[in-house]
A and B are shown apart, each in its own frame.
Chain A
Amino acid sequence: MTTHYLVLSALLFAIGGIGVLVRRNAIVVFMCVELMLNACNLAFVTFARQHGNIDGQVIAFFVMIVAAAEVVIGLAIIVTIFRTRRSASVDDASLLKY
């Protein structure tokens, strides 16, 4: 019965993706990305179970670490730009174009 888990992870991934597209607040966008990563994790562990090997679970741990590192960097950047612009809207940051 692993299919449901897969569907769920796909849904989560899709929601995350849509979120990135529709939300303006940089933090929220970033959270959506994290959501996508976690969707991946879900998929990994599911498949791990499906194949009956633990690679997937191990990978999930790796991903969490990476995600954490990403959070550190990401928040640093977002905070800096927030301080400069007094806004966390990703749409404001659109000087670079064409």
Chain B
Amino acid sequence: MITAPTIEYFALAPLLVIFGAAIIGVLVEAFAPRYLRRAIQIPLTLLSLVGAFALVILQTVRGVPTTPAAMGSVAVDGPTLFIWGTILVLSFVSVLLINDEDQFVPSAAAVPGSAEEEKAITEGAAHTEVYPLALFAIGGMLLFPASNDLLIMFVALEVMSLPLYLLCGLARRRRLLSQEASVKYFLLGAFSSAFFLYGTALLYGYAGTVDLAGISQALAVAGGTETLLIVGTALLGVGLFFKIGAAPFQAWKPDVYQGAPTPITALMASGTLVAAFGAVLRVFWVALGNDSWNWAPIMWGVAALTMVVGSILAITQTDIKRMLAYSSIAHAGFLLIGVMAVGDRGQNSLALSGLLFYLVTYGITTVGAFAVVTLVRDPGGEAWHLSRWAGLGKRSPKLAGLFAFFLLAFAGIPLTSGFFGKYAVFSSAVALGQGWLTGLVVLAVVASAAAAFFYVRVIVLMFFSDPSADGPTVVTPSWATSAVVGVSAFATVALGVFPQPVLDLAEKAAKTLFVQ
């Protein structure tokens, strides 16, 4: 006897707003005349994001629901709301970057360098589809960490990824790289999601349900050594680790970040990472929480490998975006430490709040950094090669100063947000009082000392070496871009000096933990 499903529309409202706006956007593409599209899309996108954010706030104020919505398949709880808020803010600033259409190809279908591309350029054509695509991706990002069963999670994963695959291929310059990034991301993404799906299937086989709570109950009953469970978890893990770019599944990240249009890179590096970590937490804490003794050691290895690979490989990078990609890999490693710091409820909420705070600080700084990257141009597009950044500190001290500041935040120097992010996660890990985890923290700080080297290297280039004669030009930023840079710089300072308000939010969000 099947009861009619009940849907908590209010709880899901932010999702609905985003997806609705996306669909409207598609319709606009279909029916609105070309010259109007941009004028419609941008406000539509931004407003929908603002609206969604407002709704998130409203819900938080109205009281966080304690039961999952939509027949237990979407969990809108404290952490979710916090993550939603974060993602929406990050997406908003990223969209402001996307708004700079000079980043995107006029006509993706046209072969690079062909006559039709010339034509498109002269016509000033533009892919305003970018906006609905971005909105779909953002919707996916919102759903991904909120999904309370593996099927929804899979769907969300795809909804998040598919638009991104496309967006990666739309860079205006260095088309070949862009397309290559796109195809690589697509193939590897599809590959990994196949793993995710098979893992889901096996867990379904183990538990008889894909509901996270159901799985954890099954664990409580059956214990954690069945083959199905083990292999299932492993494959599921592969899919998730791939998304956060943990070693050995990190290979796609540098290539994609480098090839994709910088605003999209910003969106992926901030929003996707946040969403993915939300999902990781949900799967490993809600579904496999009773099994932490089995997966923690594995994750230990993954985290260690990730932070080392990220820090080491970044040292010799020459492409600024690629370097930032490796740095984000290293940060993923640091974040994983927090995922392992599970214990009693108090400990969990401590670790969770730490992670949430880290995600906020890292995301906002990342967007700022990439925003700066968009501004430093060569005749052939962005000055991607580091050597071109030499002496930027003299040409435009302010911009270079801001970038240096972001880099220091990545390095985790005190009085920047990055420091407290690291501190929050590391301290929660040490608070667990387990030698093996503290050891990992020590490894982490050593790694971040190594990581500091390549951040500092860029600063050295910008400030301590003299500019080359035909150095890159710094374009005067559009209002949007400068807004992005300003906001993220402000946030990086504010969170570095007075982190308490955001910490409070994170703690309040984490207090309830995830609903079962």
Contacts and interface: CB of A to CB of B under 8 A. Distances in A.
Contacts of A90: 183, 187
Contacts, number: 123
B111 A93 contact: no
A51 interface: yes
Q: How large is the interface on A (under 10, 10 to 19, 20 to 34, 35 or more residues)?
A: 35 or more
B367 interface: no
A69 B202 CA distance: 24
Interface string B153-178: 01100100010011001000001110
Interface stretch (B193-201, B284-292, B304-312, B492-500): B193-201
B248 interface: no
A77 B186 contact: yes
Given A69-B158, A73-B162, A93 B180 contact: yes
A74 B198 contact: no
Contacts of B208: 47, 51, 53
Interface in A30-85: 30, 33, 36-37, 39-40, 43-44, 46-47, 50-51, 53, 55-56, 59, 62-63, 66, 69-70, 73-74, 76-78, 80-81, 83-85
Interface residues of B, number: 40
Interface stretch (B21-29, B84-92, B253-261): B253-261
Given A76-B166, A80-B109, A84-B176, A70 B190 contact: yes
Given A30-B187, A84-B175, A63 B181 contact: no
Name A's interface SS.
helix
B257 to A, nearest CB: 10
Contact of A44 (B162, B169, B204): B204
A40 B111 contact: no
A50 B201 CA distance: 12
Interface in A3-54: 6, 9, 13, 16-17, 20, 26, 29-30, 33, 36-37, 39-40, 43-44, 46-47, 50-51, 53
A13 B180 contact: no
Contacts of A59: 151, 200, 204, 210
Contacts of A43: 198, 201-202, 204-205
B210 A83 contact: no
Given A96-B258, A96-B259, A81 B201 contact: no
A75 to B, nearest CB: 10
A10 to B, nearest CB: 9
Interface of A: 6, 9, 13, 16-17, 20, 26, 29-30, 33, 36-37, 39-40, 43-44, 46-47, 50-51, 53, 55-56, 59, 62-63, 66, 69-70, 73-74, 76-78, 80-81, 83-85, 90, 93-97
8 contacts: A17-B191, A33-B187, A40-B201, A73-B186, A74-B165, A77-B166, A93-B180, A96-B259
